[in-house]
Structures are given as C-alpha cells and as structure tokens.
Amino acid sequence: MSSTDPTHRTPPPEAARAILVGVDFGRGASFDPTLDELALLAESAGDTPVARVVARRKAPDAALFVGSGKADEIKLLVQAHDAHTVLFDQAISPAQQRNLERHLGVPVADRTALILEIFAARAQSFEGKLQVELAQLQYLATRLVRRWSHLERQSGGIGMRGGPGERQIELDRRMIDERIKSIKERLRKVERQRGTQRRSRERNGVFRVSLVGYTNAGKSTLFNALVKARTYAADQLFATLDTTTRSLYLEDAGAAVSLSDTVGFIRDLPHRLVEAFKATLQEAADADLLLHVVDAASPVVDEQMQEVQRVLEEIGAAQIPQLLVFNKQDLLESHQQPRQREDWVGADKLGRMLPRIFVSAHTGDGLSALRNRIAGAMRDGLSPPLSQTQAPEALAVLDTSGAACPELPPPASGDH
C-alpha cells in the first residue's frame, strides 16, 4: 500500500473481515442489490466479506449516510463478526466517513477508496504508479479541504486562523500540491515519449486493435490466447493496469496487426482515475478497431456493456469500429448457447448495429473465427448488412440473452 493511502485503513496482516453496505436510493440504474461486485472489489483489495447489508432511503443521511437505525444494525454486525472494516458501495463524504468511523469503531471506506487501493497495489510500470499516486493525492486533497472548512466553521472562521490545526493542514496541502505538480510534470514527459512511440507505429501503417471491456471480462486471457503471450490474468478486478501491446499475425490477411490489452472499466469508475489514466486509455482511443470483450455469462451483462460504452464515449473512442466479443461461452448453459457463432446486435449509444462473435478464451472455441473477423475488418471495415441499418426497431434491441436473434443474417463480408 502506498504512503498516501487515502482510506487510512491499516489492514491487519491476515485478510480483513469486511461488512459490505449498499444503499438503494430508488433511482434504480446503478444500484446492485446483490453487492456481488463490491464483494469482488473487497476481495481484490485483500479483504474477506463476512456480511452484506442493503438499506433503502430516499436520500443519504447528512451525518451517517445511512439512517441511525441502520448504523446501529451495522454496528451490531461489526461486533458479531468481529469485523475490521465497513465498505460502502457508494461514495460517502469525508464528514460521513468520520462520523461512521466514530459510530462503528472501525475504519470505513467507500467504493472509490477501494478502487484506488486496488489500483495502488497493482500498478507495475513507472507510469502506472505515477497515475495512481496522482489520483490518490487528488482524492486526499479534497478530503483535506473539506476538513479544513469544517474546522473553520467550528471556530467561527476566525479563531482557528493560524492555529496549529490549520497550519498543519496548510502544510499538508502545500506538500500535496507540490507533489501533484511534480507528478503531473513527470507524467507529461512519459506521455510525450509514448506519443513519439505511437507516431512511429503510425508511420509503419500498422492496423491497431485494442481489447477493451468491463473488468474481469477475460481481456487478458483472450490476449494471451491470441498472441500466446503470458500477461497476468486473474480472477481479480483490475488485474491489468498497464497496456501491453504485441504483434498478432493473421494468416487470413497475410499481415500482422498490433494488439493491445488495456485496463478494465467498472461502474462509477472515479472520474479522477479516468483522468489520471487518460494516457493509458489513449491507446484504446487511437485504435483502428476495438474488440469489446464481454463476459457473456455475467448476470448483469447489459449493464456492463452500457458502462463500457459510456467510458468509451468519455475517452473519445465511441466512433471507432467495434466488434463485440462474447467471451466465456463455455460457462453458458445449453439453453443460453447461441444458435450461430456470429450475428449483429444493436448495442451502442450511437444506435449502431455491432457485429458480435461468441468465443471462449479458455477452450479456444471461436478464436479462429475471431481472427478471420479481425482480418475482415482490416480489409473491408465493419459494416452491417444494409437491411439491418435501416430497421429502427432492430436498433432498439439489446439482445444479450445469449440466444442469437434468429432473424438476423450472418455478417455480409465473406470472411469465414
């Protein structure tokens, strides 16, 4: 863990027992009633979830985020499970965090802090480490600002001026600001270097393919299966933080493409983190073709795909031709198995029809069809059959059930 740990959690040497809390504010969309993803995040951060609590409220409680009754319930659970920490699925304010920690008697962290913690533990490259530290310092800086104004309020805004508390915070702030400035400067240097490398690749005219997708979809496993490399793949969230690029030779095209594995996306990815990782994500934004890897067996496959489309938009990659790769086909029940390996679905924000292909990175099923697909995209681009682009009702369909739309014809390009 980095010295700028924004969560102030000091986990015991053994896995910390964690209570998971999610609050449903009734706005539906981004609430996960199972808290499964939070549990995976907790495990990826080295914690062991021991209990889950779901609360329903109209709005967050200003002081405790959850109501005081719920807070008492959580406190009892902390005691019953001898828990070390309580993790919230939503962002909580610095004041709420402090109040909760006082009330519950254990460190409290929110989703953002957890994601930052995982990123900090995973960062390998010099650039990755700088990016994570930048995001952490920015997270910490907002917390200091707020704590300062809190102190100011308590003292009527005058008495504390020049007092020891404020001076310490001022000092901390100045150090943080200086560190932020120096990291940004160093990142700019690395980015310039990366830009030069990218331009020299562009001059070579290599067709660039980037794997993008929700975290844990199987991008690295697929990358390894395609290029027979050994990139770290694991059942953890954000196993990959650095972009890896390898050359992939396609027999069908008689040419090589460059294939990049990238960092996974997640719901409510802290915006600052997206900012810090812009350079890494730039790799995806500069691609000629995106392989959007989807965990076809996930119960929340539609939400995950939409989240990926949202992040692609945020990094300016929404226009890039996209091939949906429905991975983990081996995990699908027989009734979920697609009738055909390849079809088209209306699945992105631009209302485009996207070609879809089912594969299993584990068994290798569909990989040769995928290679052919990439070769086809390199030759002719990806355009849906004309009849499909003109059928608006088809565009509204987000058929990710695994059962392919029988009425959709197979891809027009004769690449298989």
Ligand X SMILES: Nc1nc2c(ncn2[C@@H]2O[C@H](COP(=O)(O)OP(=O)(O)OP(=O)(O)O)[C@@H](O)[C@H]2O)c(=O)[nH]1
- Contacting positions for ligand X (CB under 6 A): 213, 215-221, 233-235, 237-240, 264, 327-328, 330-331, 360-362
Q: In this structure, what is the dihedral angle of CA atoms 56, 59, 62, 66, given to the nearest 10 degrees?
A: 10
Amino acid type, 278: K
Among 240, 243, 260, 282, which residue sits at the site for Mg ion (rule: CB under 5 A)? Answer: 240
Residue 65 C-beta: closest distance to Mg ion, Å: 32
For residues 130 and 138, what is the distance between their CA atoms, to the nearest angstrom? 12
For residues 130 and 188, what is the distance between their CA atoms, to the nearest angstrom? 11
Interface with Mg ion: number of residues (CB under 5 A): 4
Token output for 341: 């390996």
Under rule CB under 5 A, residue 239 binds Mg ion: yes
Under rule CB under 5 A, residue 327 binds Mg ion: no
Of 240 and 388, nearer to Mg ion (C-beta) is 240
Q: Applying CB under 5 A, which part among 50-58, 97-105, 219-227, 246-254 lies near Mg ion?
A: 219-227
Q: Are strands 47-56 and 342-346 parallel, antiparallel or unpaired?
A: unpaired
For residues 352 and 165, what is the distance between their CA atoms, to the nearest angstrom? 56
User: If contact means CB under 5 to 8 A according to the sort of partner, which of ligand X, Mg ion, none does residue 358 touch?
Assistant: none
From residue 410, how far is each of 55, 343, 375 by CA, in Å? 46, 5, 17
Among 7, 85, 210, 220, which residue sits at the site for Mg ion (rule: CB under 5 A)? Answer: 220
Token output for 166: 């404020």
Q: In 82-124, which residue ranges form alpha helices assigned H by DSSP?
A: 94-104, 111-122
Amino acid type, 31: F
Of 242 and 415, nearer to ligand X (C-beta) is 242
Cβ 70 vs Cβ 60: under 8 Å? no
Of 101 and 365, nearer to ligand X (C-beta) is 365
Of 210 and 220, nearer to Mg ion (C-beta) is 220
Of 239 and 291, nearer to Mg ion (C-beta) is 239
Residue 344 C-beta: closest distance to ligand X, Å: 22
Q: Count of residues for the chain?
A: 416
Token output for 204: 């070579």
User: If contact means CB under 5 to 8 A according to the sort of partner, which of ligand X, Mg ion, none does residue 235 touch?
Assistant: ligand X
Token output for 390: 């003109």
Q: DSSP assignment, residue 217? A: S
Of 330 and 399, nearer to ligand X (C-beta) is 330
State which residue has the least CB distance to Mg ion. Answer: 240
Under rule CB under 5 A, residue 131 binds Mg ion: no
Q: Are strands 255-261 and 244-250 parallel, antiparallel or unpaired?
A: antiparallel
Of 143 and 362, nearer to Mg ion (C-beta) is 362
User: If contact means CB under 5 to 8 A according to the sort of partner, which of Mg ion, ligand X, none does residue 360 touch?
Assistant: ligand X
User: If contact means CB under 5 to 8 A according to the sort of partner, which of ligand X, Mg ion, none does residue 238 touch?
Assistant: ligand X
Q: Which residues bind Mg ion (CB under 5 A)?
A: 219-220, 239-240
